[in-house]
């Protein structure tokens, strides 16, 4: 028997909404397409969120909010600015929850940059040289060495770039996908602009900005992670 919206129970829709935060009709459609399989429906909703996010990526985000998060009994503190398109969305519980989750994640995971594009050329080349030397020392052919280095660099991005890091509350999604899901739900472009992370006794505080061209609405002269 084929699966239609009529065959999807309210309980299934409720469970999917609780897991993803997606609108009810989107949950119904995903469950129908996934023939009632919850895990497949989650994957479909994530793909939809990423698709919507890609379409809205060029839209200007001039509103938003700054949030703080204090962790470990006052030993670690984070400030993060997350932007959206309207003040209305910035004041919604969904957006506030996202900003709080991102601030908490930064406190726990200590990223050094916002995006891959923000990694400085010096840091990129330094890591690449290290990985190339390590791979070359194994005696493997140059072509294999380069493949190993490419894989290591992707892992490097996952470790130091906020948007590439697995979300601490759900390791099956990264921060970029977490934001994409909110974009799909709220219907506006959302972007992390900058953050700062301080730890008591650590003089090398992380201060990271999105680097952008002047015509993209960003501050091309803003410093990146230190």
SS3 189: coil
Q: In the CATH scheme, what is the code of domain 121-157?
A: 1.10.286
Evaluate the CA torsion angle 209, 115, 90, 216 in order and state its sign.
positive
Q: Residue 70 pairs with which residues in a beta bridge?
A: 77
Give domain 5-56's CATH architecture. Answer: Orthogonal Bundle (1.10)
The yes-or-no verdict on residue 184 having pLDDT over 90 is no
Q: Phi/psi at 155 (nearest 5 deg)? A: -65, -35
- What tens digit of pLDDT does each residue of 45-102 get? 777 765 666 677 778 788 999 999 999 789 999 999 999 999 999 999 999 999 999 9
Percent above pLDDT 70 for the chain: 87
Q: Phi/psi at 75 (nearest 5 deg)? A: -90, -25
Residue spans of alpha helices (H) in the chain: 10-20, 24-33, 38-56, 87-90, 93-109, 121-136, 142-160, 175-186
- What tens digit of pLDDT does each residue of 1-33 get? 355 555 788 888 888 877 776 777 888 888 888
Q: Compute, in degrees rounded to 10, the torsion defined by CA atoms 86, 87, 90, 92.
A: -110
Q: Which CATH superfamily is domain 63-115+161-216 in?
A: Elongation factor Ts, dimerisation domain (3.30.479.20)
Ranges in the chain annotated CATH 3.30.479.20: 63-115+161-216
Ranges in the chain annotated CATH 1.10.286: 121-157
SS3 199: strand
């Amino acid at each position: 028997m084929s699966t239609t919206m009529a065959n999807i129970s309210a309980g299934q829709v409720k469970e999917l909404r609780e897991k993803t935060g997606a609108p009810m009709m989107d949950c119904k459609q995903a469950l129908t397409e996934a023939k009632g399989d919850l895990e497949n429906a989650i994957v479909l909703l994530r793909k939809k969120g990423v698709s919507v996010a890609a379409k809205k990526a060029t839209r200007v985000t001039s509103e938003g909010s700054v949030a703080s998060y204090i962790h470990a009994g006052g030993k670690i503190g984070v400030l993060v600015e997350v932007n959206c398109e309207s003040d209305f969305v910035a004041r919604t519980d969904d957006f506030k929850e996202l900003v709080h989750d991102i601030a908490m994640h930064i406190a726990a995971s200590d990223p050094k940059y916002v995006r891959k594009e923000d990694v400085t050329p010096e840091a990129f080349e330094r890591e690449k040289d290290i990985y190339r030397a390590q791979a070359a020392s194994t005696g493997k052919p140059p072509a294999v060495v380069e493949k190993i280095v490419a894989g290591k660099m992707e892992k490097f991005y996952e470790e130091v770039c906020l948007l590439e890091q697995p979300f601490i509350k759900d390791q099956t999604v990264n921060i970029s996908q977490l934001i994409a899901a909110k974009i799909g739900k709220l219907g506006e472009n959302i972007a992390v602009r900058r953050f700062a992370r301080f730890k008591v006794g650590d003089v090398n505080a992380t201060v990271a900005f999105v680097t952008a061209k002047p015509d993209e609405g960003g501050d091309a002269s803003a410093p990146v992670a230190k």
